[in-house]
Amino acid sequence: MYGQAKEHDHDHDHPDFLGHHWESPTQQFEAGKFGMWLFLTTEVLLFGGLFCAYTVWRSNHPELFRYGSQFLDTFWGATNTAVLLISSMTMAMAVTYAARGKTKAVIICLLLTLMGAAGFMAIKYVEYNHKFHEGFYPGLAFYEEPNASHLWQPLDETAVAHLAHDKTMDMDESNLLHAEALVRAELPEAPAEAVTWNKAVAGPGPGGLTTSHEQEQLAEFTAFLPEAFLGDNEDIAGELEFADGHAPGEAPHMAHPLQDPVRPVNAQKFFTIYFMMTGLHGIHVVLGGFMIIWLLYRTIRGEFSREYYTPIDLGGLYWHVVDLIWIFLFPLFYLI
């Protein structure tokens, strides 16, 4: 720019990519890496605050997190992890090929990384979409009736249609109308009393069931739930081995939290911290995607060589940190 245009030091060989204040390309490269690592430490501190919030809340309400993580699909989470790990590998490969001057290979690897980023966001979209259908929003919005939940009893028309559609996808039934009829046949009877939101709060910890009167009311309430959804009734109010009370060897039962007798108090907090952390991470993935596109553009224009591929290296470092954060987010929300 203004300063640099006039600054070609004629005393020694000063390539175009070398800033006027650097002595050698290696010095510029090393300094660039150091600067990028400093930026990455700021990213660690940025997410560190959220990890602190997670830790504080989890240590105060462990049952909340054990309960909440069952609503996250481990399959999609693991797939996302694999996608990011592979894209991290392709990014590192891009750096290696760039250092060897193999431009075509660099372009291919950057494209693969970009596909990984896109794939991650696509899976994220699927996951978030599902969550919003189930009504899992952060904060107060959690306590609204969901619009298309698979777990909600009684189900509304949209959900019936969804479940029927799933049935046809499973090839259990090719006729959509017949599938809907099957879904309705499996539905429980409508309760005589209105669904009481407040009563569906139980389980260990503050606000849990303490009196036999409340246990009685719980028994009334759960009476209309299908048999398969209930475990051993006696265990529900007691110390639970598993968040939802299923015995070892049994499939976990999942009722929608708003109707679940063993929903912990303030259940929305799990989704608050989930959306905050994965959302911020998702923003970083998107920004990383833009960065990869910019690197692709510069590579195609031929701006890089064996002597100068610093932006690719620095971009790679950023991408690896995005991967690093997900490596920790995945077990924190999906596995434990």
Partner 1 sequence: MADNHEHGAVGHIVPIKMLVGICAVLLFLTALTVWVSKLNFDTVNIGEANILIAMGVATVKATLVCLIFMHLKWDRPFISFFFLASVLFVLLFVSFALMDTHANAPAIIPGNSTVIQQKLDALDASAQAAHASGEVSDGQAAHGDHAEDAPAHDAAAH
Partner 2 sequence: MSTTDTPNMTGPAPVPDNYLTYSRGIWSWLFTLDHKRIGLMYLMSVLGSFFIGGIMALLVRTQLLVPEGLIMDQDQYNQVFTLHGAIMVFLVIIPSVPAALGNFVLPIMLGAKDVAFPRLNLFSYWLWMTGALMFVLALFTGGLDTGWTFYTPYSIDTGSAMGGVIPALTGAFVLGFSSIFTGMNFIVTIHRLRPPGMTWFRMPLFLWAIYGTAIIQVLATPVLGITLALLVVERAFGIGIFNPALGGDPVLYQHFFWFYSHPAVYIMILPGMGIISDLIAVHSHRHIFGYSFIAWSSISIAIFSFLVWGHHMFTSGQSELVSVVFSLITFSVAIPSAVKVFNWLATMYKGTISWNTPMLYGMGFIFIFTIGGLTGLHLGTLGTDIHLHDTYFVVAHFHYVMMGSALIAFIGGIHHWWPKMTGRMYNENWGRIAFSLVFIGFNLTFFSQFMLGSQGMPRRYGTYPADAGFQFYHVLSTAGSYILAIGFFITAGYLIQSLLGGRRAPSNPWGGRSLEWQCTSPPPHDNFSEAPAVGDCYDFSVLRWDENEQGYVWRDDVAHPGSEDVS
Q: What residue ranges bind partner 2 (CB under 8 A)? A: 1-4, 7, 19-21, 27, 30-32, 34-35, 38-39, 41-50, 52-53, 56-57, 138-141, 266, 268-269, 272-273, 275-276, 280
Does 308 bind partner 1 (CB under 8 A)? Our answer is yes
Structure tokens at 106: 């660099």
User: CA 216 → CA 210, 237, 262, 322, distances in Å?
Assistant: 11, 11, 14, 50
Given a contact cutoff of 8 angstroms between Cβ atoms, the answer to whether 225 and 153 are in contact is: yes
User: Which DSSP string do the residues of 263-320 spell out, in sequence order?
Assistant: PPTTTHHHHHHHHHHHHHHHHHHHHHHHHHHHHHHHHHTT---SS--HHHHHHHHHHH
Residue 233 binding target from partner 2, partner 1, none, CB below 5 to 8 Å by type: none
Distance CA 254, CA 316 (A): 41
Does 215 bind partner 1 (CB under 8 A)? Our answer is no
Site for partner 1 in 270-289 (CB under 8 A): none
Site for partner 1 in 139-198 (CB under 8 A): 140, 143, 152, 154-157, 159-160, 184, 187, 189-198
Distance CA 247, CA 299 (A): 57
Residue with Cβ nearer partner 1 (6 or 227): 227
Q: How far is the CB of 43 from partner 1 (least distance, A)?
A: 9
Vertex 189 angle, CA 185 and 194, to 5°: 140
Question: How many chain residues are in contact with partner 1, going by CB under 8 A?
Answer: 92
Structure tokens at 276: 């905050």
Site for partner 1 in 8-37 (CB under 8 A): 25-26, 29-30, 33-34, 37
Given a contact cutoff of 8 angstroms between Cβ atoms, the answer to whether 137 and 271 are in contact is: yes
Residue with Cβ nearer partner 1 (286 or 332): 332
User: CA 306 → CA 25, 108, 303, distances in Å?
Assistant: 11, 17, 11
Site for partner 1 in 41-80 (CB under 8 A): 41, 44-45, 48-49, 51-52, 55-56, 59-60, 70, 74, 78
Residue 192 binding target from partner 2, partner 1, none, CB below 5 to 8 Å by type: partner 1
What crossing angle do the helices spanning 74-99 and 103-134 adopt, rounded to 10°?
160
Site for partner 1 in 77-106 (CB under 8 A): 78, 81-82, 85-86, 88-89, 91-93, 95-96, 99-100
Residue with Cβ nearer partner 2 (28 or 81): 28
Residue 2 binding target from partner 1, partner 2, none, CB below 5 to 8 Å by type: partner 2
Residue with Cβ nearer partner 1 (45 or 171): 45
